[in-house]
Every structure is written in structure tokens, then in C-alpha cells.
Structure 1
Amino acid sequence: MTQIRHMSVAPTRTQRLVSGGAIDAHRHDDHQIVYAASGVLTVTTSAGTWVAPATRAIWIPAGIVHAHKAHGELDLHLVGLPTIDNPLGLAAPTVLAVGPLLRELIIAYTGAPDDDSAERTRLRAVLLDRLRASPQQPLHLPTPASPLLRTLCEILQADPADTRTLAQMGHQVGASDRTLSRLFRSDLGMTFPQWRTQLRLQRALVLLAEKTPVTTVAHRCGWSSTSAFIDVFHRTFGHTPGSHPTAST
């Protein structure tokens, strides 16, 4: 992220992005909610990557340098909020669950005229109320600071289907599994299996958005079977990958 645009006001608008389309690195002085009503959105910062399908939105605090990328045709809805409006008190990018009511509120608010009408004020108040009740979702893939851990994570990002144990990978990067395990906890705040599962789930969402068949997604992301993939996906997102809005069977 070398070229960083500064926007004093975070826009409230809708925007279409083709699959593979991107919004380059920028920051703004307002908070922003980013929601993709179709497709899968990834937001990248120096701290890692967040991913959101149509059942999730991403909260981006003021001042955070971030970039967007579309996987599948993206129907993007952006909601800018002044710094005084932070209903969940979030200081870092966060994935939030989006139920049917919150979805419709975001779509209505981004599609309404940007004015100070009483109707828009009421719509915004209800939107903030629903955000306060929105559960946070663990769909963050943190970027390691440790050069050793960064090397290991890059190997897995190149091939999420790599099934080697931490000890086996340690032989390649020149460290013991105990050292690597300690680094995962201290640097990334999670265990090696947790990080790898997050990586695989993020890659699965991207592949599903690209119309990749479910069985192929399971294989490419390293699950031992399609049923194992379906089970983890369902426990994480509340529905099966076959019923995912962008899935191909």
C-alpha cells in the first residue's frame, strides 16, 4: 500500500464492482460500514484481511488505511458515519453479522437522498440500533509481524490444501513446532489450526464467489472430505456452502 489516498469524509453510496475489481488503498476521517449485497468482499489492511459474504458487513474505523477487492460481481453499499457514531465501540476492522432487517436498512440508507430530512434521520437511528445488536464474527486473517511466521503463512496462503503438521512445516522454515506454536499465540492471538481454518474459510468464500463447485472448493482448501468442509462452513456461517448465494453445485 504505497499510494494512499486521504478522504476527509467517508462516502455513503452504492457502487458496482466487477469480479476482480478493486478500490485502492485509502483512509478517511469517518467510520465506514462496507456491505456487499452480492458477491464476496475482502478488505485488507496492514494488520490482515477481513472477508464478508452477503450475510456479513465490515466495520472500518476512522483513519485505518484499507483496500477493497471484489470476488464475484459485487453490489457494494458504503455507509459513512462520523466518529461520534460508533455503536459497538470498535477500534479495529471487524466483521459483523447482517440479518434481513439490517441488510434492508443498509440498502435503504445508501439508496436514499443524502439530505437532512426527518425520514433519513429516523432511518439512520434505526440502522445504528441494529448495529448495536449485530454480533461480531471471527472472519479475520491476521498478518504476522514475525519474519519466521510470515514465511510459514505465505507457504500456506499459496496452497491452503497443504496438510502438513506444524512440526513438518517447521522443518522447512527452520524452527521447532514449539517455537512456531508460541509465535502463533503471541503474534496472531490464535493457534495454528485456528489460523489455518480461517485461511481455508476465506479462500472457500472466494472460490464459491467465483462459481467453483462445492466439492472442488473442499479439495482446493484442504478439507479431508466434502462433508467435513460442509460441516465447518455450516457451523461458521449458519448455512451450507451449497445454499450460499454465489455457490455452484
Structure 2
Amino acid sequence: MSVHELPSSEQIRPVSVLDVHDGEADHTMWICRFDADEPGGWGVHHHRQHQVVWVSEGLTTAVVGDRSWVLPPTRALFIPAWMPHDTHNRLPSLLHCLYVWPQACPLDWTTPTVFAIDGLLRELMLAMAGAGLHATVEEPAQALFFGLAERHPDPGVALPVPADHRARVVADHLLSTPSDPRSLEEWSLHLRASASTLRRAFVTGTGMTFTDWRTQVRLQASLPLLANRVPVAAVARRVGYESATGYVEAFRRHFGHTPAAHFRTHRVR
């Protein structure tokens, strides 16, 4: 985001731009598919339609206002119309964005809402997308989609991100590379800001210490790996833990059970 390049130390939020799709008035609901090498990061924008963000492969981070959601293929995010947001994909990822006019949407969700993508909903989403980059969603598919989405709420874990542009650089990097072991002291040298300034920015902007916030990022990043049956020891290494024991203990403290138990409970059928 352009906020990274701001020379001032002030907490400045980027302006949201209205994104208008060609021919959008001709469709009630449609879905767009992006190539696997599309990184996203288009800048903060909004639509007159509700949007659903989902990846059929890979991982994407949806940023809505001052919060972010890391979304694997088993979760999608509903973003209400007019709400500023941006999306960042971890390559390679297959991003699908579904748009529906508010007057045609039976869901009463007024805030960003995560819902689970099970086997049937996944196949429906893929069928709606078709083979092209843009596809109109017909009424029978619309009704089935809304019925399934409403039955599969998943509150997920939303992470606030700091508004201070220097702390935001750290946060965005860790969202894409959670295994980076650098301390705030090391980041302070890179960003030419004191460690205490960055530390305060995380507490002020997220309500969490930097250490606690990074733990949440790592746990979120570990979920799609567990879903893909990556061994726990390998998951721990890939999200930045020096030992599987440390990862399992952090996971247990947050979720109340072990990674193995979480996988059994949340396996998509």
C-alpha cells in the first residue's frame, strides 16, 4: 500500500477509491477469477456491491479498515457494500471475488463475516466461476449459494493492524512471511525508528504487544498447513517456531486444544 511510502510519522489512512466494474448494472450477481500470479494489493477501494473474497488454492489476506483476515481455501469473507478494503495474495493463489447488489442479497450481514467453505460450497463456487475470468451467476445458483453460506458461519480470527506507517510495514511483512524471526530492535534499525516507538504503535493500534500480535499471525498462518496435512513439526518451522513444542503450546493456549485435535474437528467433509 502507498501508506508504506509516506515520509511523515503521522498515522495517515489511505483514501478509499470507488471501483466500478464494466457493465455492473447489467448483472445481479457475478464472479471474477484471477490468475495464480496475481499478487493483489490494488490499493484501498470499495464497491457499491457486497463482495465475497475466496481462494480455491493458496492463501489471501483481506484487509478491511483496520482489521485483516488470513483466508485459506476453507474460509471466505463477506465484505458489505461501500466498505473500504484490499486483498493481498500469497503466490501462487487462485483468487475468486463474487459481487452481488445489496438489494438482491438475502444475507443480513452488516459487518465483515467469515464463513466456512465445505465440499459442496466449494464445488458450487468453482461451477459459478466457470472457465472464464468473469461469469454471471444465475438465479438458481444464487439461491443455493446464499442458503449454503448462511448455514456455515465461521467467526474466524480477525487481526487488527497498526495505523502507524512504520509499524504497518512490519505488520504487512509478517502477514506474508510469518516465519521472519526479526525482533522489534532489528526492525527499528531497518526502519530508522526506535524500538519503543514501534512497540507503542503495536499496542496503540492493535491492543496487543508485538509478541502477542505476531503469535496470532503465526497461528493463523498455520491453519491452512494443518488442513493440508503438513506434519506439526514442519508447520512449526514454516511459521517461525524453533520447536514443535513451542508451537503446540501456543496453539493450545489460543484454541484450547492441540493442532491435531483442531484438524480433526475442523476437517472439511
Deviation per residue, 1:60-88 (Å, 9 max, x gap): 22112322222233222221112232625
Task: Please show how residues 97-246 of structure 1 align to structure 2 within 5 Å.
Answer: 97-111=116-130, 114=136, 120-145=138-163, 172-173=195-196, 184=203, 188=206, 195-204=213-222, 215=233, 217-219=235-237, 221-226=239-244, 228-229=246-247, 232=251, 235=259, 238-239=262-263
Deviation per residue, 1:130-187 (Å, 9 max, x gap): 11122223332211347898699689778766598xxxxxx94179x9xx7xx85x85
CA distance in 1, matches of 2:121, 2:173: 38
TM-score, scaled to structure 2: 0.61
Residue 98 of structure 2 is matched in structure 1 by 79
Partner SS for 1:24: coil
Contact 2:62-2:86 within 8 A present in 1 as well: yes
Residue 167 of structure 1 is matched in structure 2 by none
Q: Match of 1:107, as an amino acid? A: L
User: CA 1:174/1:31 → structure 2, altered by over 3 Å: closer, same or farther?
Assistant: closer
RMSD of the alignment, in Å? 4.5
CA distance in 2, matches of 1:30, 1:151: 30
Partner SS for 2:124: helix
Task: Please show how residues 6-45 of structure 1 align to structure 2 within 5 Å.
Answer: 6-7=19-20, 9=24, 12-19=30-37, 21-22=39-40, 24-25=42-43, 26-45=45-64
TM-score, scaled to structure 1: 0.65
1:64 aligns with 2:83: yes
CA distance in 1, matches of 2:169, 2:93: 32
* Runs of at least 5 residues in structure 1 that lack an aligned partner in the other structure: 165-170, 245-249
Contact 1:161-1:220 within 8 A present in 2 as well: no
Q: Match of 1:7, as an amino acid? A: V
CA distance in 1, matches of 2:178, 2:136: 45
User: CA 1:197/1:218 → structure 2, altered by over 3 Å: closer, same or farther?
Assistant: same
Between stretches 11-20 and 29-38, larger displacement belongs to: 11-20
User: CA 1:109/1:20 → structure 2, altered by over 3 Å: closer, same or farther?
Assistant: closer
Contact 1:61-1:91 within 8 A present in 2 as well: yes
* Runs of at least 5 residues in structure 2 that lack an aligned partner in the other structure: 3-15, 184-193
Partner SS for 1:68: strand
1:29, distance to aligned residue in structure 2 (A): 0.4
Between stretches 132-141 and 18-27, larger displacement belongs to: 18-27
1:90 aligns with 2:110: yes
Q: Match of 1:69, as an amino acid? A: H
Q: Match of 1:142, as an amino acid? A: P
